[in-house]
């Protein structure tokens, strides 16, 4: 197996793995925020701002993987 074949197999798998991990992270973040809001409704505004920033960081990791996959696809 040469390097081009290996890249063509690994790149879609790595992107799928990054998307799966990002979706799990986002789901856990939203679940934690909603359960915290249910227990203490007075911290909703502060919690929503922090959750939004955290979700942006989680999603940025998936976008970075997508950019790297596009760059490496040019090598195939």
Whole-prediction pTM: 0.80
pLDDT at residue 75, rounded to an integer: 80
pLDDT at residue 19, rounded to an integer: 93
pLDDT at residue 39, rounded to an integer: 93
Give a yes or no: residue 76 inside a domain.
no
Give a yes or no: residue 50 inside a domain.
yes
Q: Residue 65: how many CB atoms within 10 A of its CB?
A: 19
Nearest Cα to 26, choosing from 45, 64, 65, 52? 52
pLDDT at residue 14, rounded to an integer: 93
Give a yes or no: residue 46 inside a domain.
yes
What span, in angstroms and rounded, lies between the C-alpha atoms of 61 and 8?
A: 21
pLDDT tens for 29-62 read 999 999 999 999 899 999 989 999 999 999 999 9
Residue 47's domain spans which residues? 3-71
pLDDT at residue 1, rounded to an integer: 82
Count of structural domains within the chain: 1
CATH number at residue 33: 1.20.20.10
Residue 17 has pLDDT above 90, yes or no: yes
């Amino acid at each position: 197996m040469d390097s081009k074949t290996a890249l063509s197999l690994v790149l879609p798998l790595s992107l799928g793995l990054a998307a799966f991990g990002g979706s799990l992270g986002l789901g856990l973040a939203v679940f934690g925020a909603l359960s915290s809001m249910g227990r203490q409704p007075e911290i909703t505004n502060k919690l929503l701002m922090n959750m939004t920033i955290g979700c942006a960081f989680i999603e940025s990791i998936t976008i970075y993987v997508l950019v790297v996959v596009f760059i490496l696809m040019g090598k195939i």
